[in-house]
């Protein structure tokens, strides 16, 4: 396994301005994420987990500090360049699934590949295969409202995988499903690691965090521990 980090944060600060008040949500966060591991980010609600994950996954930029994605300082990229690299390198899974309600499962899963300008026929066939791998071969043409929460989350995971990203980030992936479905989602996450992906999970649940090879504990916008197994 390579030792270099796949993502590195240096003294990352994130502030939000609320009128006259500045709210500092991340305070000098340093973090190195090694490739091909599951990293859990654990902390209570409001501690800054989603903010941190959005910066790790280059969806958001820090107020101060540096983010390196595969040794590339992302602040040196244009927004368009960053969007292309992000689309190819990172797959996203959200707590609220974020599926488009007017599209079928296979169409939802295809979207990130369509955005990469891959021919539609190929996008759809890739999407169908991934849905099948995740046990959803009989749900390909269902719309989100016709699916259970767990099925929707598996569709969302399939969508995250369509461009075969090296990194998968998941913000509270089990937050809106029952515990049995949560176990299934965590099994899928374990499988991703076997496929040499780097997985970053955000959670407030210690039992979910324990799936990680490493656990980063965040409190009030600061990393208070980073435990490696
Ligand atoms: N866009 C925003 N504008 C202002 N404050 C925000 C914004 N996003 C998050 N916050 C605040 O930042 C803090 C951390 O939020 P968040 O990262 O979502 O925490 P977590 O995911 O751990 O629950 C919270 O106090 C939240 O209210
Ligand atoms: Mg959150």
Residues 133 and 174: their CA atoms lie apart, in Å, by: 19
Question: Residue 176 is part of which domain span?
Answer: 36-60+79-228
User: Which are the contacts of 184, defined by CB distance < 8 A and separation ≥ 6?
Assistant: 150, 154
For residue range 112-158, list pLDDT tens digits in order. 999 989 999 999 999 999 999 999 999 999 999 999 999 999 999 99
The CATH code of the domain that includes 198 is 3.40.50.300
For residue range 81-102, list pLDDT tens digits in order. 998 899 899 999 988 889 999 9
Ligand 1 atom 2: the closest Cα is on which residue? 16
Domain contains 13:
no
Domain contains 191:
yes
Q: Ligand 1 pocket test: pick from 12, 23, 45 the residue with the most ligand atoms within 8 Å of its Cβ.
A: 23
Domain contains 214:
yes
Provide the pLDDT confidence category of residue 25 given band limits of 50, 70 and 90: very high
Domain contains 6:
no
pLDDT on residue 176 = 85
Domain contains 17:
no
Number of domains in the chain: 1
> Residue 1 pLDDT > 70, yes or no?
no
Strands 72-73 and 222-228: unpaired
| Cα-to-centroid distance, 99 and ligand 2 (Å) | 18
Domain contains 223:
yes
Q: Which of 173, 182, 191, 196 is nearest to 41 (CA)?
A: 173
Provide the pLDDT confidence category of residue 3 given band limits of 50, 70 and 90: low
In angstroms, what is the C-alpha Rg of the chain? Answer: 17
Q: Ligand 1 pocket test: pick from 14, 15, 16, 218 the residue with the most ligand atoms within 8 Å of its Cβ.
A: 16
Whether 43 is in the pocket of ligand 1, judged by its Cβ within 6 Å, is yes
């Amino acid at each position: 396994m390579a030792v270099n980090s796949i993502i590195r944060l240096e003294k990352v600060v994130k502030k939000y301005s609320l009128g006259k008040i500045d709210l500092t949500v991340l305070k000098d966060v340093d973090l190195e994420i090694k490739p091909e591991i599951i990293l859990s980010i654990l902390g209570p609600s409001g501690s800054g987990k989603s903010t941190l994950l959005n910066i790790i996954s280059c969806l958001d930029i820090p107020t101060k500090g540096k983010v390196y994605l595969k040794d590339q300082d992302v602040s040196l990229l244009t927004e368009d360049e960053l969007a292309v690299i992000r689309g190819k390198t990172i797959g996203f899974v959200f707590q609220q699934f974020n599926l488009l309600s007017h599209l079928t499962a296979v169409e939802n899963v295809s979207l990130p590949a369509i955005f990469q300008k891959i021919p539609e026929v190929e996008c759809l066939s890739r999407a169908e295969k991934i849905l099948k791998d995740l046990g959803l071969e009989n749900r390909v043409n269902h719309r989100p409202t016709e699916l259970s929460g767990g099925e929707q989350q598996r569709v969302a995971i399939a969508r995250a995988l369509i461009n075969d990203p090296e990194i998968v980030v998941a913000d509270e992936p089990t937050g809106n499903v029952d515990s049995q479905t949560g176990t299934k989602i965590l099994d899928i996450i374990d499988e991703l690691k076997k496929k040499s992906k780097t997985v970053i999970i955000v959670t407030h649940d210690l039992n979910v965090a324990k799936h990680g090879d490493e656990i980063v504990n965040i409190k009030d916008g600061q990393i208070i521990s980073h435990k490696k197994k």
